[in-house]
Each structure stands twice: as structure tokens, then as C-alpha cells.
Amino acid sequence: MPPPWSGMVYANAEWSQADSINVVETEAGLHLGITSWLAVGVSNAFEGEDDQWDWSNSAPYVSLSLFQSEAVPWLRVGLHAGYSFAEEEGPTTVMVMTPFTVPASSVTSSDIVVATPVSSTSTSTKAKSKSASSTGSGKATKHSSGGGGSGPDAPGGGTAHDHPVAAASAGTAVTQQEQTVTVLKPDKVQVPPVRHRGIHRHGEEGVTARLIVEAALGHHDKFIFNLINFTPRHGYTGWGYAAGWRHEFNHDFATSVEAIGDYESTGYQQAVVAAHWSPWHTVTFKLGLGAGLSDETPDFSVVTGLVYRF
């Protein structure tokens, strides 16, 4: 926590190689003290992969001193919180080959056939209705004209005669055979962006937070631990850590050992050994070598840093 209206300008850069791809990540920022317990700042990060540079994120933040007491002068606790603005990736439209079942007669020379033709048989019946009076065939009904009834007291009937009625002719069965095949045709598909789980995010917006604990172990050693959180707008919340031990040989030269990673064992895990040189009281240079401890981490990296205090 710098004194009020004092601060620092810092810049970090890390070069790493993974699967024969060279990646460079840089970050530069300003850290300014406002009061004895409040500081503000902003950082900007860029990423380059094989000479292709892209803006990664910008993050304004505040730093608060949560605990600092003369009764326990060797212990300090702080909170760092900010918001990381990034150009988030949207869904990507890709062309894929999708199988379709089509009639064999519609297949063209450009179609990719992936299944042998299949014959499908359908049978339909066409029925016709004809009048018996027009064909001379059919069924006739007979009844008497005039009054009539039933039972022993019914009056007598009239003259008996026939009436022809309509009769259905036999239906005609039609059998059709049609072959269908399965072909591959290009189709547009929306692929959502990949969402990561750890604290190392690129192209994702969200809230960043660190709980910082610093302990002085004598006059020449210092231990620092960071509990790190990243809560994105979309996707998974990430939790991680950063821990470091620094030994000062004199005012000008010190060494450190650091470990940074996710709380998931399969996530990002890195160990760094570094040297710190202060040729002037206001300037410190850092040079370190990093080793990846998981499949998600580059095998080898070079870490550099610069701090200028004003």
C-alpha cells in the first residue's frame, strides 16, 4: 500500500513455449495510493502468439488495507478487487456435413452418398362407385306401392315393383417402389465459445478479486499468499492461489520462489524461480524461469518484470 499520492508503474512479460508455439503475455499498469488504507489502479494486458498480437483485457481496480497494526507489525492483510473488460468471443459458425435421407432420383454427382439405396414399397387402393341402373348390374330392392303395414289387421298393399340401387365396384391396387439413400450435405452449425474453469482467462469479462496476506519473517525474508477469484459474466467461477517466498541478501539483490495455479489439480500449475535487482531505490528489475507442473501449463517460460516507484 503506497503512501497517499505516491505509487508505482509496473510492467510484466512472460514468454512461454507450448507444442512448438511461442506465446508472449504482457501486462502494464499504474498503482496509486489515495489514503493510508486505499489505493486505485488500472492494468492492461496483451497476448501475442507467433507475432500475432491481440488485446487481452483492461482491469481497473481498488486495493484496501484490511489489517495493519503496530501490535503485529510483521502481518498485513489486504483486498484487491476489480473488473476485467475483455472482447468476449461469441458463437462461431462452422460448416459441417450433416446426413440427410433423400430419394435416390434426386441425388446429383456432387452429393456424397454414405449409405446404400433402400427400397420402400407403398400400396394404395383406388375405389370406384357405379350405379346399377347404368350398368345393368347391381342389387335391386322390392317393395309394394300404396298403403301397407304389418300384422293380421294391416290393410292390403299395392303393386309390387323393383328399384335399382348403387353398387361399389372392386378397387384397383397400385404398388409403387421408391429408393432412398443417405447423403452428406453441408450445414451451418453454431458452436459456442470454450469456457474455462481456472483463473487464467483470455477473452472473458468478469470480476477479479484477491485476498492478500503478507508476513515478514525476520529482516530479510517475506512470505506472501494470494487467494484468487475470477467470476465471469458467463461460464464457470475460477479459484486459484499465488504464494511466494522472497529472501533479500542486501538492499540491491534478492531471490524468490513462487507457485501460481488453480485449485483444480488438472488446471494451471506453475513454479517460478526469480532474481530481483534494484540498481536504484525507485527501480526494481525481475528475471525468472518458470516450469509447468500440469498438462494445462507451458513446459518452460521466461518471466520478466519492471517496477518504478514515484
All structural domains of the chain with their residue ranges:
7-89+197-309, 95-143+157-189
Distance CA 64, CA 73 (A): 17
Average pLDDT, rounded, for the chain: 82
Better-scored residue on pLDDT, 274 or 200: 274
User: Which residues, other chains included, contact 135 with Cβ-Cβ below 8 Å and sequence gap of 6+?
Assistant: none
How far from 170 is each of 129, 245, 251, CA to CA, in Å?
9, 99, 112
Q: How far is CA 256 from CA 61, 63, 78, 292, in A?
A: 26, 23, 21, 17
Q: Which residue has the higher pLDDT, 159 or 235?
A: 235
Contact 47, 56 (CB under 8 A): yes
pLDDT given for residue 153 in this prediction: 46
8 A C-beta contact, residue 199 and residue 191: no
Q: What is the pLDDT of residue 163?
A: 54
Give domain 7-89+197-309's CATH number out of 3.40.50.2300, 2.40.160.40, 1.10.10.10, 1.10.150.20: 2.40.160.40
Task: Tell whether the model's pLDDT for residue 176 goes beyond 70.
Answer: no
Pick from 50-64, 101-115, 218-232: least confident: 101-115
Can you say whether residue 304 is alpha, beta or left, with left for phi > 0 and alpha for psi between -120 and 50 degrees?
Answer: beta
Q: Are 183 and 113 in contact (CB under 8 A)?
A: yes
Q: Is the pLDDT of residue 134 over 50?
A: no
Sign of CA pseudo-dihedral 108, 112, 117, 121 = negative
Question: 32 pLDDT exceeds 50?
Answer: yes
pLDDT of 96? 79
Please report the beta strands in 19-50, taking only residues with DSSP state E, as ranges in sequence order: 21-33, 38-49
pTM (2 d.p.): 0.67
Q: What are phi and psi of 14, to 5 degrees?
A: -135, 125
Better-predicted residue by pLDDT, 8 or 93: 8
Higher pLDDT residue, 132 or 304?
Answer: 304
